[in-house]
Amino acid sequence: MLEPNQPNIPIQSTDERIAYIDQETEVAMNYIVHHNNRMYFDLDRAQKDGVSGEALDIGLAIEDVSNEYMSGKFIPSTYFRSVPLPIYGNYCGPGHSGNNFTLPPIDHLDWGCMQHDKCYKPWSPGQNCECNRQLIYFIQTNRRWMPDSALPIANAIRAYFERVGLIGC
């Protein structure tokens, strides 16, 4: 029984939360536009269609991950709004190698990103295929042990590497 002033919020199991984040990621992917190996999120169209806030956040995170990995490329700011989101933890994101691997990962997702960073060869397209596949697999199989707040960015990282990170592999 709920306390009188407590909101009636359904409690989700980890599996239910993961399934929900996966569903919202698929919704967000319907608004992703590919251009020159970049992924852009059509925020205006998604908002007009009334998609959930979770799907909007995931779509923006996918665009941010793509932007971080392809910085210096074409940015169609006249067509799409891009909101920068912070890179996750000490290792998730290009150039974020935990202060030259001296910092500990903050959680399970960050640990997976650290393993990817140790494997990854910068500026070596086609030579990082196995590293990227390992990161995709790690995220897919280890989300149960990631904090709830990490699931949307984990799916954004996975979506990027599934669609762009394996080009040329």
pLDDT at 79 over 60: no
Task: For 2-51, write each residue's pLDDT tens digit.
Answer: 334 444 445 578 788 888 989 999 999 999 998 877 888 999 999 999 99
Query: Is residue 8 in some structural domain?
Result: no
- Residue 9: CA count within 13 A, CB half-sphere: 6
Show the domain range for 31: 15-72+85-164
In the predicted structure, residue 80 carries a pLDDT above the cut 60: no
Q: Each residue of 107-149: pLDDT tens digit? A: 999 999 999 999 988 766 678 899 999 999 999 999 999 998 8
CATH assignment at residue 29: 1.20.90
**Is residue 10 assigned to a domain?**
no
Q: What is the torsion angle, in degrees rounded to the nearest 10, for the CA atoms of residue 104, residue 93, residue 20 and residue 9?
A: 60
Answer yes or no: is pLDDT of 74 > 60.
Answer: no
Q: Is residue 149 part of a domain?
A: yes
Helices (H), the chain: 14-29, 43-48, 53-69, 98-101, 108-119, 129-142, 151-163
Q: Please, which residues have CB within 8 angstroms of residue 56's CB and are 6 or more apart in sequence?
A: 28, 43, 46, 47
The tokens 């596949």 sit on which residue?
133
Residue 6 domain-assigned (yes or no) = no
Domain annotation covers residue 77: no
pLDDT of residue 93: 81
CA distances to 16, 74, 76, 153, 163 from 40, in Å: 28, 11, 9, 15, 12
pTM exceeds 0.75 for this model: no
Residue 2 lies in a domain: no
| Residue 98 predicted with pLDDT over 60 | yes
Separation of alpha carbons 162 and 153, rounded Å:
14
* pLDDT surpasses 80 at 86: no
158 in a structural domain: yes
Q: Which has more confidence, 139 or 161? A: 139
Task: Indicate the number of domains in the chain.
Answer: 1
Q: Considering the domain boundaries, does residue 9 fall inside one?
A: no
